[in-house]
Chains A and B, each alone.
Chain A
Amino acid sequence: MAIPKVCGIETEYGILFKGGDVNPITASSIIVNSYSKGNQDLVGWDYIDEHPGNDARGYSLDDYLFPEYESQLVNTVLTNGARYYVDHAHPEISTPECRNALEAVLFDRAGEEIIRRSMQIANEGLPEHSEIVIYKNNSDGKGNSYGCHENYLVSRLTPFVQIAQQITTHFVTRQIFCGAGKVGAEHRGLTGKGHVQPAFQMSQRADFFEEEIGLETTLKRPIVNTRDEPHCDPTKYRRLHVIAGDANMSEVATLLKLGTTSIVLAMIEDGAFPEHLTIKDPVQAIRQVSHDTTLNARVLMTDGRMLSALDIQIEILEAARQYAADYGLESVDTQVGHDVLVRWAGVLNDLETDPLIVANIVDWVAKKRIVDGFAQRHGLQDHDARLKAIDLQYHDMRTDKCLALRAGLVELCAKTDVRTAMVKPPESTRAYFRGTVLQRWPNDVIAANWDSVVFDIPNQGLKRIPMPEPLRGTRALVGGLLASSQNPSDLIEKLSSEF
């Protein structure tokens, strides 16, 4: 049987420093540090003891410009179990491990609000006329891309080659409902002879994939990434690290992205993915699909058929429905799995009838509707800078500037739940243990990672609590124990006697 599809999202955000010559690493560091320093009440860190004279909003830009300021030092773990850090000159948030796709949507949304709060605090401390602006997108339109990665728990028993072969079909075609949309194309020359560069395409990322499979994430990006770093028991699990996706502004698109992929991975583990459903040239096909917003482009399958992305998705969906009937959807959370199946069918059906119907849930359709409408209203040509500005500003994290917030996208998460998820961990995975101990004993935790927490215990030294099982450390398993522990020493004693 398929193992539980624990999942999460890592988002590298785009960043601009306006009104000053500040490099993006420094700007990203200001953002991440602002959140910790300015938000001690929110995240539960007691910084007052460490920096008694430091007013959270009183620092100046100069504080950050010392040469010894190093981005690798900016690496924090939040009380919601997430990791917030600077990576490759971008601020990045990794959600905590979630038990299902819907929970991951909530923590991705919490990540957005953490970014907004960081931006607000940072900008209040910057000199007049300076501003840091953050974008949840994946490309600058000039050939530079940064990722939104998904992670899924998969069984070590399933041969990786099988996972790679079969999941590729889904990655190439799921863009039709989870592409974030892009004005223009990048990496010309990779799209084949006679191919007309599109004025608008479905995906931010499709232009950047050059290999079918490989270890790289920054150069010669592969559709399937082979990084083998499970952050849990490596004898039992893999963490499938997915780099072939866009950062979504639409919550439903994020749900579909993670939800359908979780189901497909469960099918692969149970040998229920249609074996014949593989694409002859996935690298060519991922661009072909992205570049054709009419949804008519057909790609060559290894069995000789010519199918559209929609045809392929419908075959995957049919197999998924059969899988749900035969095996159940417990591995992806039964309720969430069935909701995803319904939405998946709906979006495919609507895309086929008229893509405009899904302008409220599919980012590329929402963005294209604005771009086309604006071009028509003002009589603009395809390459007018205003259309590219709309593309970028769709992803602007400032609420007064963000176009996605104005596009009428359906919301799944209640605002109060998002606020709670900014500070409290999911209860359904080991993130519960990590987040809760950070909240309760911030001064006693000296290091926290995905698979361990290290306490500094008076008179005993450092105590490392390993967490090799993503589904241990849940509220159901350790909630009572944590609540009844007076201090970390007490907790460790109880843990060693109970486990």
Chain B
Amino acid sequence: MPEQLKKTSQSRKSITPPVESKSNLGSTSKNLTTDLDSLLDEIDEVLESNAEEFVKSYVQKGGQ
């Protein structure tokens, strides 16, 4: 159980994290940076070309 959990609340008992909780991410910060870079490359390509016009035109009728 990580120390940080204990620090922020005295009333807490142990919170056992699930075994696979961190296995999905490629969790080192280096991996995260690399993933983000390629993700941002892709976003540069697919993001609506005229962002201002797109955002302005995105008007919805209120629903529930």
* Chain A residues within 8 Å of B, Cβ to Cβ: 12, 14-16, 24, 87-90, 139-142, 144-147, 149, 217-218, 243, 307-308, 310-311, 314-315, 317-318, 342-343, 345-350, 352-353, 356-357, 359-361, 369-370, 373-374, 377, 384-386, 388-390, 392-393, 400-401, 403, 406-408, 410
- The reply to whether A88 and B57 contact each other, CB–CB distance below 8 Å, is no
* Contact A374 B40, CB 8 Å, known A12-B63, A353-B4, A385-B51: yes
Instruction: Identify the closest chain A residue to B19 (Cβ).
Output: A342
- Residues of B near A145 (CB, < 8 A) are 62-63
* Contact A142 B59, CB 8 Å, known A353-B4, A357-B27: yes
- The reply to whether A140 and B63 contact each other, CB–CB distance below 8 Å, is no
B34-64 near A? 1/0 per residue, CB < 8 Å: 0110011011001110011011111111111
Contact of A389 among B21, B48, B63 (CB under 8 A): B48
User: Complex Cα distance A384/B7, Å?
Assistant: 38
- Residues of A near B64 (CB, < 8 A) are 12, 87-88, 146-147, 149, 217-218, 243
User: Complex Cα distance A315/B55, Å?
Assistant: 40
- Residues of A near B60 (CB, < 8 A) are 14-15, 24, 89-90, 139-140, 144, 146
User: Complex Cα distance A318/B42, Å?
Assistant: 41
Q: Closest approach, in angstroms, between the C-beta of B60 and any C-beta of chain A?
A: 4
Instruction: Identify the closest chain B residue to A322 (Cβ).
Output: B13
* Contact A140 B51, CB 8 Å, known A149-B64, A345-B18, A349-B5: no
Q: How many residues of B contact A (CB 8 A)?
A: 40
Q: Closest approach, in angstroms, between the C-beta of A37 and any C-beta of chain B?
A: 24
Instruction: Identify the closest chain A residue to B22 (Cβ).
Output: A357
- The reply to whether B8 and A16 contact each other, CB–CB distance below 8 Å, is no
User: Complex Cα distance A343/B46, Å?
Assistant: 32
- The reply to whether A90 and B61 contact each other, CB–CB distance below 8 Å, is yes
User: Complex Cα distance A140/B56, Å?
Assistant: 10
User: Complex Cα distance A89/B22, Å?
Assistant: 41
- The reply to whether A360 and B25 contact each other, CB–CB distance below 8 Å, is yes
Contact of A360 among B18, B24, B57 (CB under 8 A): B24
- The reply to whether A388 and B42 contact each other, CB–CB distance below 8 Å, is no
- Residues of B near A317 (CB, < 8 A) are 15
User: Complex Cα distance A406/B16, Å?
Assistant: 30
> Can you list 19 pairs linking A and B with CB atoms under 8 Å apart?
A89-B60, A90-B63, A146-B64, A310-B8, A311-B9, A314-B12, A347-B21, A349-B15, A352-B4, A356-B32, A357-B25, A357-B27, A374-B43, A377-B40, A385-B55, A389-B55, A390-B43, A390-B47, A406-B42
Q: Closest approach, in angstroms, between the C-beta of A414 and any C-beta of chain B?
A: 16
- Residues of A near B32 (CB, < 8 A) are 356, 359
User: Complex Cα distance A62/B46, Å?
Assistant: 31
- The reply to whether A393 and B47 contact each other, CB–CB distance below 8 Å, is yes
User: Complex Cα distance A345/B19, Å?
Assistant: 11
- Residues of A near B36 (CB, < 8 A) are 369-370, 373
- The reply to whether B15 and A88 contact each other, CB–CB distance below 8 Å, is no
- Residues of B near A369 (CB, < 8 A) are 36
- Residues of A near B42 (CB, < 8 A) are 406
- The reply to whether A87 and B54 contact each other, CB–CB distance below 8 Å, is no
* Contact A401 B43, CB 8 Å, known A90-B63, A144-B62, A346-B21: no
Residue among B5, B24, B58, B60 having the largest count of chain A Cβ atoms under 10 Å: B60
- Residues of B near A408 (CB, < 8 A) are 25, 35, 39
- Residues of A near B43 (CB, < 8 A) are 370, 374, 390, 403, 406
Instruction: Identify the closest chain B residue to A221 (Cβ).
Output: B64
- The reply to whether A16 and B5 contact each other, CB–CB distance below 8 Å, is no
- Residues of B near A349 (CB, < 8 A) are 2, 5, 15, 17, 21
- The reply to whether B55 and A388 contact each other, CB–CB distance below 8 Å, is yes
Instruction: Identify the closest chain B residue to A376 (Cβ).
Output: B40
- 8 further interface pairs, Cβ-Cβ under 8 Å (given A145-B63, A218-B62, A384-B51): A88-B62, A88-B64, A218-B63, A352-B2, A352-B4, A385-B55, A386-B47, A392-B54
User: Complex Cα distance A172/B44, Å?
Assistant: 35
Q: Closest approach, in angstroms, between the C-beta of B63 and any C-beta of chain A?
A: 3
Q: Please give me the 10 A-B residue pairs with the lowest Cβ-Cβ distance, nearest first.
A: A146-B63, A346-B21, A389-B51, A89-B61, A88-B63, A346-B18, A217-B64, A342-B18, A385-B52, A140-B60
Contact of B17 among A139, A311, A345, A389 (CB under 8 A): A345
User: Complex Cα distance A393/B52, Å?
Assistant: 13
Instruction: Identify the closest chain B residue to A386 (Cβ).
Output: B51
- Residues of A near B56 (CB, < 8 A) are 385
User: Complex Cα distance A15/B25, Å?
Assistant: 32
- The reply to whether A350 and B22 contact each other, CB–CB distance below 8 Å, is yes
* Contact A345 B47, CB 8 Å, known A146-B64, A407-B39: no
